[in-house]
Amino acid sequence: MTLVLFEIVLKTECVDEYKSLLVKELPNTRAYDGCQHVAPFLDKDGRTFVFVEHWDSKEHYEKYMEWRAEPGPGFASLGDLANLIEGEPSIRYFEAVEA
């Protein structure tokens, strides 16, 4: 299993738009092949989001990101997201350890 921490900082004027986008788009993410769990968290600054995601593998997540990169009818792409954030997203991967 792969843990993914995905962090973005939204432009102040885009926070409400992004929250609406989450309601629409998170079901698509959760239904994507290999996604076990996704939970968004908002920092007290009101514009920094961290997504804690569990995927079957890093390869599943990378395939999902390729899918998100392509604009498609009825869903938001990474290009749409780029217009709402400041800077670059941070993506960190962690592999489960048997203990």
The CATH number assigned to the domain holding 45 equals: 3.30.70.100
| Amino acid sitting at position 3 | L
Report how far apart the first and last C-alpha atoms of the chain are (Å, whole number): 14
Please give the share of the chain, as a percent, with pLDDT higher than 70: 95
The yes-or-no verdict on residue 45 having pLDDT over 70 is yes
Average confidence (pLDDT) over 78-95: 90
The model's pTM is 0.89
pLDDT digits (tens, 9 = 90+) for 50-64: 999 999 999 999 999
Do 51 and 39 meet the contact criterion of CB atoms below 8 Å apart?
yes
Beta strands per DSSP E along 11-68: 35-42, 48-55
Determine the average pLDDT of the residues in 6-16: 96
- The count of structural domains within the chain is 1
| Boundaries of domain holding 46 | 2-95
Burial 64-87 (b: 16+ CB within 10 A, else e): beebbeeeeeeebeeeebeebbee
